[in-house]
Structure 1
Amino acid sequence: MNLSEKLQRFIKEGSQGNKSSRESERTDELNRVSRLLGGKIVATPYGPHVAVEKVFEGDFCHAGVRLSSVLEISGEALKLAAKKRDDFELDVRKAVFVDTETTGLAGGSGTYAFLVGVGYFEGSSFKLVQYFMDDFDGEPGVLYSLKKLLSNFESLVSFNGKAYDIPLLSTRFLINRMENPLEFMNHFDLFHGARRIFGQRLESLRLSSLEQNLFRMERSGDVPGFEIPSIYFKYLRDKNPFPLKPIFYHNQLDILSMVSLLSKIGQVLKDPFNSGACSGQDFYCLGRLYEDMGMLEESIRCYTLALSTQPVKDKAYRQLSLLYKKMGRWREAEKLWIQMAKEGINRQFALIELSKLYEHRMKDYEKAASAAREALEVARDKKRLLGRSFDPGEIDEIRRRLDRISFKMSKNREEQVKII
């Protein structure tokens, strides 16, 4: 063996030794993480990773809600919550709840999902699986396991996942040249569902805020979301897995709260009028939802219940009157506009709508002109109050309306004279 062959053999043996040493170190690391978190090491064609599994029996309660109660929600209620029509199906038994913890909050191709939590029902029990990426080269293994699990489901449920989790995971599948299973699944985003019902009542629709306001739940032993990326990067440097425990707990709480929130939404939509789960502000939101979905009688009932709730009173009167107008129920619309003008509820809007009604529908130009003149006075008062921030176009529009009505009045008198 010459010197060149000896050198190549030495390099090869050294390389194999280093590789063996790295693999051994990583195996030890994965064992430490899995033991600490009560997980297991999963082998994949792309390398091993840690997975943590927990099972919650059907009578388990989170935030005061029995998890299995979500299985009692009707498909129609879920379709309404998702604001979808006949092309959307969401069977909770065939759905998976998804939440990620990531290396950054901005998203983009440089952001990794180092922990992916998924929850789903097996019978009446709820199973939660968390896939952990111990280092960046462990991502393909995590995605492989995630893809394999998602292939068993038809739909996914997330919280603000349309804006963040799902695009991020889709990007990671693309970068790793894997088929993206998410693009073939129905998706219900709980953030949008909650906003459609509770958006007027609650100032914040963050998941933790919904927990506090809807369930009176306060988290303990949790880690703030904004700290999670820095904790993970510290783990990558020192390989100390102990600070990871609160992150896994945080992810677990997020998924359990998603189940409780979906159950709450289903309870509201099953019987909003007798469930005791709605306030006046919620009825306004439900009125908008029912109206958008073409359920007009339910919408009218919700708006009517919201009329006495101060924070949404003006909106409810306006929206209900416009719904009556759209339905051609002119007498009911007129009654509302008269009441609004009398009580100072969005008075300028009400007077202009009355002027339109009297001019175009009833041909009562005297009443139309009277309502328009009152609207003009309201606009002038607003101008004095707001000063430069007032839009002068409002006054110009009302003046044009008055001119047109005056012309019609004159023409009508001329025609009457001719008849005489």
Structure 2
Amino acid sequence: MNIGDRLRQLRGEARPESDDALATRLQRLRPPARHATMDPDDCSVLGTALAAEQTTDGLLIRERHYRLSPASCVGVDPSALPETCRLPPLDWLYIDTETTGLSSGVGNLAFMIGVARFSATDQLEVRQYVLGRYAAERAMLTDLLATVGTASTGLVSYNGKSFDLPLLANRCRMQRVAARIDTLPHLDLMYTVRRAYRRHWPDCRLQTAERRLLGLQRVDDLPGAQAPAAWRTWLCERDTAAIARVLEHNFQDVVSLALLHRCLAGAYLGQADSPLDHAAIGRAWLDAGDPQRAQRIWENAGESLSDDGRLDLARLYRRQGDWASAETQWLALYARGNAAASLELSKLHEHRRRDLRAAMRYAGSCTPDERNTRCSRLRRKLDATPQLTLRLSLRTR
């Protein structure tokens, strides 16, 4: 530091800046530059890359047909599931979204929506919407609701109950689109899959269900978690490669939904070869008001039926008054040390067989709290039995 710099420092004067330093500071203070306004031709370029038609300014639509294999066309009614068996006949529409973020916040929107439904010739007609720009969202939602159609439509999704449908309903409100998509009948297959397979699979993601139930293995698939980044890449860099991969990912999602719907309907009717939770499936049919189907599911499961399932089956037999069949199930479980079956056998012998000693024997295998309560009461009954017998014998003399 020279004498001039020292004097300026003591007087509180700033050192003159060089032109380069001043330019650097000014550049730092400027607000970040906004992205250039999208050229109308950019959406045409995206439409060409995606083989999609630009219907309105910034909205791209691609339609495809997917012909099912003969094995997929087995005459299974997709409505034959506990959740939908009581509904009137519906025109099922399969729906999946790709969004600008993975949260459910207000600023999150669907930049891509795929829907599909079966045609009269059993082909799957797939319609995919892609936003080329934010301003086209209202047009996309309006066209989507027109495709959904009347109240005879039922929606099928995978995790749509907590994500896709609330998101679309919120965006419809934000864009002042009158119809409410979340009022239609809705089947979320994720819960259907979880009920049947969570005890046998490491997870119940859509791609796990595809691989295990449909034998499908995706090749070069873009993970759904990377879809928001692909959308930002298109907006900022006009790169169509990543968005094209998202489109294929979305197409596979809606096709898999349609195939899984039929496959799961068959599994819930007892036509599956893969291991599943028969106890949970039967319980779902029972809750849906179809005890006969629940009974068939449990009985046909054979040795693969879990202890909980056997208890449910025995409970159903008891409700029907078939005590012999109920006892058969309880005895099989008692032999494996099942405390709940021990309790039922103790009740059976106490109240129906009037065999207090047998009831006491089975009560000894109940849970500690139940064992103490029941054994104390049965012991009092047994102690009172000789006195009652003596009084009766004296009266008969």
Matched with 1:53 is 63
Unaligned runs of 5+ in 2: 1-35
Query: How far apart in 2 are the matches of 1:118 and 1:172?
Result: 17
**Partner Cα separation in structure 1 for residue 126 and residue 135 of structure 2:** 24
1:244 positional shift: 0.7
2:148 to 128, 147, 150: 150
**SS of corresponding position for 2:113:** strand
> Take 2:99 and 2:61, find their aligned partners in 1: how far apart are those partners?
16
Distance 1:402 1:190, change over 3 A: same
Gaps of 5+ in 1: 1-20, 376-393
Q: Aligned letter for 2:141?
A: L
Task: Please identify runs of 4+ aligned residues in structure 1 that moved more than 4 A.
Answer: none
Question: Against the structure 1 CA distance between its residues 82 and 368, is the aligned structure 2 distance closer, same or farther, given a 3 Å change threshold?
Answer: closer
- Alignment partners' CA distance in 2, 1:414 and 1:149: 81
> Equivalents in 2 of 1:313, 1:154: separation in Å?
37
Q: Deviations 1:267-326 (Å, cap 9, x if unpaired)?
A: 3355x2xx4x234535434322332234334323322333412xx532332222222233
Listed one character per residue, the Cα deviations across residues 217-241 of structure 1 (whole Å, up to 9, x for unaligned) are 1100210111111222222222212
Q: Is 2:240 the counterpart of 1:245? A: no
Whether the 8 Å contact between 1:82 and 1:193 is mirrored in structure 2 is: no
| 1:292 paired to 2:265 | no
Task: Label 1:280 to 1:332 Cα distance change in 2 as closer, same or farther (>3 A).
Answer: farther
Matches for 1:102-113 after TM superposition, within 5 Å: 102-113=99-110
AA partner of residue 124 (structure 2): F
Preserved contact between residue 154 and residue 185 of structure 1 (Cα < 8 Å): yes
Structure of greater Rg: 2
In structure 2, the residue corresponding to 1:360 is in which secondary structure?
helix
Once the two structures are superposed, the pairs formed by residues 157-176 of structure 1 within 5 Å of their partners are 157-176=156-175
Q: 1:407 pairs with 376, 380, 389, which one?
A: 380
State the shift of 1:214 in Å: 1.0
Going from structure 1 to structure 2, the CA distance change for 1:120 and 1:185 (only over 3 Å counts) comes to same
Deviations 1:329-356 (A, max 9, x none): 22222222222222x2x52222122112
| Cα distance in 1 for residues equivalent to 2:54 and 2:82 | 37
Q: Show the 5 A alignment for 1:38-187.
A: 38-43=51-56, 47-56=57-66, 59-61=67-69, 65-66=71-72, 69=73, 72-74=75-77, 78=79, 80-84=80-84, 86=86, 88-91=87-90, 94-124=91-121, 125-151=123-149, 154-187=153-186
- Alpha-carbon distance, 1:190 to partner: 2.0
- Contact residue 49 and residue 132 of structure 1 kept, 8 A: yes
| Contact 1:97/1:258, CA 8 A, preserved across alignment | yes
Distance 1:41 1:279, change over 3 A: closer
| TM-score between the two structures when normalised by the length of structure 2 | 0.82
Q: Percent identity?
A: 25
User: RMSD of the alignment, in Å?
Assistant: 2.4
One-letter identity of the residue aligned with 1:231: A
Measure, in 1, the Cα distance between the counterparts of 2:71 and 2:206: 15
Does the 8 A contact of 1:307 with 1:316 survive in 2?
no
CA contact (8 A) 1:280 1:308 kept: no
SS at match of 1:163: helix
Q: 1:82: how far off?
A: 4.4
Deviation at 1:90, TM superposition (A): 3.9
Q: Please report the TM-score for the alignment, with normalisation by the length of structure 1.
A: 0.77
Within 2, Cα distance between the matches of 1:322 and 1:268?
A: 24
- Which is helix-richer, 1 or 2? 1
For 1:123 and 1:166, locate their aligned partners in 2 and report how far apart those are by CA, in whole Å. Answer: 27
The answer to whether the 8 A contact 1:42-1:50 is kept is yes
In 1, distance between residues paired with 2:277 and 2:40? 53
1:107 to 1:90, Cα distance in 2 relative to 1, 3 A: farther
In the alignment, residue 50 of structure 1 is paired with which amino acid? Answer: L
- The answer to whether 1:305 aligns with 2:300 is yes
SS in structure 1 opposite 2:107? coil
- 2:94–2:156 contact (8 Å) kept in structure 1: yes
User: SS state of the match for residue 144, structure 1?
Assistant: helix
Determine the C-alpha separation between the residues in 2 that align with 1:224 and 1:262: 22
With 237-246 and 333-342 compared, the bigger mean Cα shift is at 333-342
- Cα distance in 1 between the residues matched to 2:307 and 2:119: 47
